[in-house]
Amino acid sequence: MTDASKTHAPGMHPDLPPPKTEVGAWGWMYHNLFSSPLNIGLTLGSLFLLFIAIPPILDWAFFDALWGGERTDCPKEAGTREGACWAYINYWFKHLMYGRYPNEELWRINTSYVIGAIGLIWLVLPKLPYKLWVGSFMLFAFPVICFFLFAGDSFGLQIVETPLWGGLFLTLVIAVTGIVASLPIGIVLALGRRSNMPVVKSLCVAFIELWRGVPLITVLFMSSVMFPLFMPEGLTFDKLLRALIGVMLFSAAYMAEVVRGGLQAIPKGQFEAAQALGLSFWKLMALIVMPQALKIVIPGIVNTFIGLFKDTTLVLIIGLFDFLGMAQNVSTNPDWLGFSVEGYVFVAFGFWIFCFSMSRYSQHLEQKLHTGY
Amino acid sequence: MAEEVKAEDLQQPTKELTVGEEIMIQMIDVHKWYGQFHVLKNIDLTVRKGERIVVCGPSGSGKSTLIRCINRLEEHQRGQIIVEGTELTGDLKHIEQIRREVGMVFQHFNLFPHLTIMENLALAPIWVRKMPRHEAEEAAMKYLERVKIPEQAKKYPGQLSGGQQQRVAIARSLCMNPKVMLFDEPTSALDPEMIKEVLDVMIELAQEGMTMLCVTHEMGFAKTVANRVIFMDGGEIIEENNPHEFFDNPQHDRTKLFLSQILAH
């Protein structure tokens, strides 16, 4: 018997509100920020670090920054300025976004962006019908449409050679191709590696270990420089195409191992129950095992996607100017020396937007698919 | 060991349980090895339509392996297994054909956790028997009602109790209209309160004439419904008899030892 119940009959104790330190904002702060001397020290130390770091960054980026769109909006000498000069970004915006793609033809890229955005939003938003059709369109028809739009030379469109492709546009082309190709190829490789057929298994293991064992930079370099040496006279492949194939195979090898990890986590009983019901191998995989395995490794898959997205910057080594490459290229312009920081900050921000969106979506996907197991 | 469900507590069959003439499963001189280990020795077994066979024995006696060989979850290395006239070999077509006619219920249920109960049940009829969706779902509801949990159709397996999950697993196998049902220790992973509800479903199934091969430790069930009890030890069939003779008059020493151990309390 406790003291509190002395004044109440059994079963008659009223529901009291909890003490102030347990609930609400105070409660949260008490438990998370100030719960022990060590935590109090860390909280105060962190607040101090934020205090000395954030205001200067905000000053540089916003309050002392210069806005505009012409060379005259920025100081003559880059070293004398207090804040960022965003006119630099504004002036070079088209280059950072599209590379050296002809200005009159930019509508082709923008059209594909619009179609892509509509398709993506349709797939992402819940409760919209015909997702299978939209998904198939995005997977099969959309790449073909994009190819004809970007490259031209048919349907009356002016041809635009791939060396002119650049900026964020090029980053997206390489990253999306790599991401979309790596998952199906990776799944097939993972299944092959787990197979009981010795030839299939050895081929898959060899492929994975080969492509995982060399740096992407080497793959790109080899595809660009070494590959033409082995080709017969006169047969040339487009440089970007070679880079795309290299990126696809490289990321597929990584994805294969991520998927294999997910497959290993599925209990044998799931396979057996599906087999006992008479499901064939591929139906078993598609209906029972893969949905569970892929859901388990969503963090790993999205991790690989995000890594791939950023790895595309390596194409600079073979003379392709993606988002980062263009920022670097543009900073060497004799008219605009000294503003490279703004360029890099802008590019970093751009990458962060894409990567963070992927990360948020994956968390949303995990929540949506969580059926309690 | 948990308290065993007594034969008197289970619902007693109301109909005469008959056995037909047609041979459903035949195992002839079946042997199996796991590497060097000889796990099934000289298995000869004939199962007729409508028979209910209980296979019992100590751990490691090969009873689970035996029934898993029937639907090729395990491969036998010597001898023949013939299910409904089709011989079980490496031929994938035969295997899939046999698996459609043989249903299996597992000790750990093995429901598909990412699908609702209704989807669990309708999946195989839709994708294997190519039934239209609404037809498969109607049949699934019928079977859910038979196992007495129609209200759970929209839930996920993780939200159900063990006994409910096992009954869903039974319903899932029944949706394929199998000719033979294999049960691999269906109640061994269940809490005592739930064992009875599952055994009652199995007894009703037996009443309707389903051919059943059941590996279990529930001797009450064997006494109520089985028309043959098989005792296995060390990979061999030691003794085979009808329940009365088996429990009251065991012939071999190993059988007597086993029975004394499990019926001790």
Residues A239 and A326 in one domain: yes
Q: Quick check: is A1 in a domain? A: no
- Domain stops at, among A124, A139, A159: A159
Q: How many CB pairs under 8 A join A and B?
A: 71
Q: Quick check: is A342 in a domain? A: yes
Q: Distance between CA atoms of B96 and B71, rounded to whole angstroms?
A: 9
Residue found under tokens 């002395």:
A6
Which are the contacts of B188, defined by CB distance < 8 A and separation ≥ 6? B107, B216, B217
CA distance B33 to chain A (A): 19
Q: Quick check: is A251 in a domain? A: yes
Closest CA to A186 of A216, A207, A217: A207
Residues A292 and A321 in one domain: yes
CA distance B210 to chain A (A): 17
Buried b (16+ CB within 10 A) or exposed e, A267-287: eeebbbbbbbbbbbeebbbeb
Q: Which domain does A53 fall in, by range?
A: 32-57
Asked if A251 contacts A220 with a C-beta cutoff of 8 angstroms, the reply is no
Q: Quick check: is A7 in a domain? A: no
The total domain count for chain A is 3
Residues A210 and A267 in one domain: yes
Q: Report residue A27 as tokens.
A: 């409660």
For residues B87-96, give the mean pLDDT: 91
Q: What is the pLDDT of residues B117-129, one digit of tens each?
A: 999 999 999 999 9
The predicted structure's pLDDT at residue A340? 86
Q: Distance between CA atoms of B265 and B1, rounded to whole angstroms?
A: 9
CA distance B96 to chain A (A): 5
pLDDT band at residue A32, thresholds of 50, 70 and 90?
confident
Q: Distance between CA atoms of A163 and B104, rounded to whole angstroms?
A: 61
pTM: 0.84
For residues A20-45, give the mean pLDDT: 83
Residues A171 and A192 in one domain: yes
pLDDT at B18 over 70: no
If you measure CA to CA, which chain B residue comes closest to A287? B123
Residues A186 and A112 in one domain: no
Q: Distance between CA atoms of B176 and B171, rounded to whole angstroms?
A: 9
Beta strands in chain B (DSSP E): 23-34, 37-48, 52-56, 78-83, 86-87, 102-105, 180-184, 211-215, 228-233, 236-241
Q: What is the CA radius of gyration of chain B?
A: 18
Beta strands in B128-250 (DSSP E): 180-184, 211-215, 228-233, 236-241
What number of CA atoms fall less than 13 Å from residue A318's CA on the CB side?
27
Asked if B39 contacts B11 with a C-beta cutoff of 8 angstroms, the reply is no
Interchain CB contact of A291 with B (< 8 Å): yes
Residues A43 and A135 in one domain: no
Q: What is the pLDDT of residues A325-366, one digit of tens each?
A: 999 999 898 888 888 888 999 999 999 999 999 999 999 989
The predicted structure's pLDDT at residue B15? 60
Residues A53 and A201 in one domain: no
The predicted structure's pLDDT at residue A69? 77
Angle at A360 between CA A175 and CA A114, to 5 degrees: 50
Which are the contacts of B179, defined by CB distance < 8 A and separation ≥ 6? B24, B49, B84, B101, B102, B211
Closest CA to A308 of A221, A235, A223, A247: A247
Q: What is the pLDDT of residues B52-78, one digit of tens each?
A: 999 999 988 999 999 999 999 999 999
Contact across the interface for A278 and B156, Cβ inside 8 Å: no
Adjacent-strand bridge partners of B25: B47, B83
Contact across the interface for A275 and B99, Cβ inside 8 Å: yes
Residues A118 and A194 in one domain: no
Q: Quick check: is A94 in a domain? A: no
Contact across the interface for A277 and B159, Cβ inside 8 Å: no
The predicted structure's pLDDT at residue B3? 55
Chain A partners within 8 Å of B174 (Cβ) = none
Q: What is the pLDDT of residues B121-151, one digit of tens each?
A: 999 999 999 999 999 999 999 999 999 999 9
pLDDT-wise least confident of A234-243, A286-295, A304-313: A234-243
If you measure CA to CA, which chain B residue comes closest to A273? B110
pLDDT at A239 over 90: no
Q: Quick check: is A144 in a domain? A: yes
The mean predicted confidence, pLDDT, of chain A is 89
The predicted structure's pLDDT at residue B116? 95
Residues A121 and A183 in one domain: no
Percentage helix, strand, coil for chain A under 3-state DSSP, each rounded to 5: 75, 0, 25
pLDDT at A270 over 90: yes
Q: Quick check: is A228 in a domain? A: yes
Chain A partners within 8 Å of B99 (Cβ) = 275-278
Interchain CB contact of A277 with B (< 8 Å): yes
The predicted structure's pLDDT at residue A254? 95
CA distance A202 to chain B (A): 23
Task: Report yes or no for ipTM above 0.95.
Answer: no
Cα torsion for B165, B167, B170, B174, to the nearest 10°? -120
Q: Tell me which residue in A270, A276, A283 faces B127 most closely, judged by beta carbons.
A: A283
The predicted structure's pLDDT at residue A65? 83
Interchain CB contact of B235 with A (< 8 Å): no
Closest CA to A175 of A321, A303, A313: A313
- Which CATH number covers residue A227? 1.10.3720.10
Residues A140 and A190 in one domain: no
Which are the contacts of A135, defined by CB distance < 8 A and separation ≥ 6? A123
The predicted structure's pLDDT at residue B14? 63
Residues A337 and A206 in one domain: yes
Interchain CB contact of B94 with A (< 8 Å): no
Interchain CB contact of A20 with B (< 8 Å): no
Contact across the interface for B128 and A288, Cβ inside 8 Å: no
Interchain CB contact of B90 with A (< 8 Å): no
pLDDT at A177 over 60: yes
Q: What is the pLDDT of residues A43-67, one digit of tens each?
A: 999 999 999 999 988 888 888 888 8
Q: What is the pLDDT of residues B197-253, one digit of tens each?
A: 999 999 999 999 999 999 998 888 999 899 999 999 999 999 999 999 999 999 999
The predicted structure's pLDDT at residue B1? 43
Tell how far CA B135 is from the center of its chain: 26
Strands B236-241 and B228-233: antiparallel
Q: Distance between CA atoms of A281 and B84, rounded to whole angstroms?
A: 23
pLDDT at B265 over 60: no
Interchain CB contact of B189 with A (< 8 Å): no
Q: Quick check: is A69 in a domain? A: no
Interface of A with B in 154-193 (CB under 8 A): none
Interface of A with B in 292-311 (CB under 8 A): 292, 295
Residues A204 and A120 in one domain: no
